[in-house]
Amino acid sequence: MRRLSLALALLLAGCDVPIPSGVPALIASHGTATRSRVYHVASWYGPSLAGSRALSPAIAAAAAHDGLSRGLVEAVVAQESGFNPLAVSPVGAEGLMQLMPETVTMINAAGGAEVLDPFDAEQNLAGGCWYLKWLHGALPRSQVAPGEDWKLTLAAYNGGLTRVKKAIAMALAGAPRNPRASWRDVSDNMPSETQRYVPSVMALWSKYGQ
User: How do residues 133-163 score in pLDDT, each as one tens digit?
Assistant: 999 999 999 999 999 999 999 999 999 999 9
Q: Which of 74, 80, 122, 148 is catalytic?
A: 80
Residue 72 has pLDDT above 70, yes or no: yes
What is the residue-wise DSSP string for the chain?
-PPPPHHHHHHHHT--SPPPTHHHHHHHHH-S--HHHHHHHHHHH-S-SSHHHHHHHHHHHHHHHTT--HHHHHHHHHHHHTT-TT-B-TT--BTTTTB-HHHHHHHHHHTS---S-TTSHHHHHHHHHHHHHHHHHHS-GGGB-TT-HHHHHHHHHHH-HHHHHHHHHHHHTTPPSS--B-HHHHHTTS-HHHHHHHHHHHHHHHHH--
Give residue-wise pLDDT tens across range 28-39: 323 333 333 343
Residue 95 has pLDDT above 80, yes or no: yes
State mean pLDDT over 81-96.
96
Q: What is the pTM of this model?
A: 0.78
Whether 80 is catalytic is yes
